[in-house]
A and B are shown apart, each in its own frame.
Chain A
Amino acid sequence: GDSVTQMEGPVTLSEEAFLTINCTYTATGYPSLFWYVQYPGEGLQLLLKATKADDKGSNKGFEATYRKETTSFHLEKGSVQVSDSAVYFCALSEGGGTSYGKLTFGQGTILTVHP
């Protein structure tokens, strides 16, 4: 079945540091890939997405490129802020067929940014 593996956390950085959170996936078809962010006590918000190979999703300074050859979708940001502290989830969706568009999530990576 489909699966998503994220780098284990927690990740602790100083403000303005470079961020990478690794994400690799296993899927039978051609999934869409997503990064979601969860702030304390809240639900998940879509951060960015990519729907086909070599697409780059970007939002709020975060970027991730859909790499089919390495089955990866790593999240990056050049300069993190304290307000970026949250839990980040990588996810994939197979779309149609028997999966009915279910999202499969990674385990989440806790990011803490210190001033």
Chain B
Amino acid sequence: DGGITQSPKYLFRKEGQNVTLSCEQNLNHDAMYWYRQDPGQGLRLIYYSQIVNDFQKGDIAEGYSVSREKKESFPLTVTSAQKNPTAFYLCASRPRTLDNSPLHFGNGTRLTVT
């Protein structure tokens, strides 16, 4: 079955360390997205990518970085510059960016930084 795989499901890190969250999709989708979810705040867009080797900042990109070297993969790095990294991170994709097709979501990674 096609879908989006995020790993790991739970991740724990010490403050000051960078950490990379994995997102892989086998849906052959061009567009991929990273959202952050905090209680009572809905989802906020961190980064998105329309095609391989291209990505743009979303609404809260500070302290994060991404790469898109392969169509299937869109890893997110949470750097030590991110002031409040503890959150639930969701990766999503859709066939193309410039349409209104629904997003497909992974099951998320819960990051805890202490």
Contacts and interface: CB of A to CB of B under 8 A. Distances in A.
Interface stretch (A61-69, A75-83, A103-111): A103-111
Interface string B1-37: 0001010000000000000000000000001010100
B106 interface: yes
A101 B50 CA distance: 10
A102 B45 contact: yes
Nearest to B6: A43
A42 B100 contact: no
Nearest to B108: A43
Interface stretch (B66-74, B78-86, B90-98): B90-98
A49 B41 contact: no
Given A44-B90, A95-B98, A101-B94, A107 B105 contact: no
A72 interface: no
Chain B: number of interface residues, binned into ranges: 20 to 34
Interface residues of A, number: 25
B42 A95 contact: no
A43 B107 contact: yes
Nearest to B103: A103
B113 interface: no
B106 A95 contact: no
Interface in B30-76: 31, 33, 35, 40-45, 48, 50, 56, 58
A96 B94 CA distance: 13
Contacts of B4: 43
B56 A100 contact: yes
A96 B58 contact: no
B105 A43 contact: yes
Interface of A: 4, 31-32, 34, 36, 41-46, 49, 51, 89, 93, 95-96, 100-103, 105-108
Given A101-B100, A105-B42, 4 more contacts: A43-B105, A51-B100, A102-B48, A108-B42
20 contacts: A31-B100, A34-B102, A41-B107, A41-B108, A43-B90, A43-B107, A44-B103, A44-B105, A46-B103, A49-B102, A89-B42, A95-B100, A96-B99, A100-B50, A100-B98, A101-B94, A101-B100, A102-B45, A105-B42, A105-B44
